[in-house]
Structure 1
Amino acid sequence: MFLKKILPALALSMLAGACQTGADVPTDLGGNTILFYNQAHGVQVEYFSKSGRTSLWYPGNTGSLPGRWTTKMDGNLICFGYPKNSYNPVTKELGGGLKCRLTADFKRNVRQTCKGDVFNLASGKIPFVLTKSRSQISTLKKSCS
């Protein structure tokens, strides 16, 4: 039980060393790992490759979810696509195709930005299973300040 609580905090602390906090989201997300939080989804971590691939670490998942990303309309929209067999428990939609949103809305949920694939999410593996708990963000922010 002790290790189940310590390992996630340790992994998040390791991430914090390579991260910047706040709303300083790079214009080009390629080559960065982004840590998000919103009430509906909880904590999410996603690596954005320079080639347009993503690897999403989502609460409850046992591995990272491969996807793709792009921007449109001079960067005013950010679009994501995930496999057809994936499922979004919040929107109740299956993956497949690109879904776009305003980049400004996307940036509002960003809590950390880190250079590189700091958790090696592109491998399909994750360090531990995330929960939706906001407390994971708090731990990370404390470690980063």
Structure 2
Amino acid sequence: MSLDDAKVAFVGKTRNVKAYQFGSQVSYMAPDGSVYLWFPGNPVVLQGKWSFKESGGFRPYAGKPVSETSLCFDYGPNTVNAWSRRRSGTECIPSDTAVLTTVESESGDVFGLAGRTEVPFVLPREKTTLADLRKRVGLRS
């Protein structure tokens, strides 16, 4: 995925992401490089930073160099990444993978995560939809 495609897919969007054994997680990536995460079981909105990292490569079947973009997150020194079990630090995933794990996405900060420290309610460890979350929070579609 190119950097321009990644910007369109993620920046300024609220995403519902498959969190596999954790259920669904909801995040908002603000244009200023801040990210806000509503993670199952957490009573607070995790605030962090996001960035893109580009790397070049050559795909023989494409016959030309390609640019690959990774999406990177850093939630600060006092956090543990649920996926890798590592404390703090920046974690990057290929943007193509991030697209595949995105169940749905909407423009804007749908749940006002950027203005909250506490989550609207603690997400259970089950899959859900943005529409179901809107209803539970009392928001119209």
Same fold (TM over 0.5): yes
Q: Does 1:122 align with 2:103?
A: no
Q: Does 1:31 align with 2:12?
A: yes
Q: For each residue in 1:80-122, what CA deviation from the matched residue of structure 2 results, as whole angstroms up to 9, or x when unmatched?
A: 11111011233221113x2111111111110111111111111
CA contact (8 A) 1:40 1:90 kept: no
- Structure 1 residues 118 and 75, CA, compared in 2 at 3 Å: closer, same or farther? farther
Task: Look up the match of 1:66.
Answer: 47
Instruction: Work out the percentage of aligned pairs sharing the same amino acid.
Output: 29
Output aligned runs, 1:49-88, within 5 Å.
Answer: 49-73=30-54, 76-88=69-81
Structure 2: tracts of 5 or more residues without a match: 1-5, 55-66, 136-141
How many residues in Structure 1 have an aligned counterpart in Structure 2?
Answer: 116
CA contact (8 A) 1:45 1:58 kept: yes
CA contact (8 A) 2:22 2:126 kept: no
Structure 1: tracts of 5 or more residues without a match: 1-24
Amino acid of the residue matched to residue 107 of structure 2?
K
Looking at CA atoms only, which structure, 1 or 2, has the larger radius of gyration?
A: 2
- What is the alpha-carbon distance in structure 1 between the residues aligned to residue 131 and residue 31 of structure 2? 28
Structure with more contact order per residue of length (Cα contacts < 8 Å, sep ≥ 6): 1
Task: Look up the match of 1:92.
Answer: 85
Q: TM-score, normalised by structure 2?
A: 0.72
**Runs of 4+ deviating beyond 3 Å:** 137-140
Amino acid of the residue matched to residue 92 of structure 1?
R
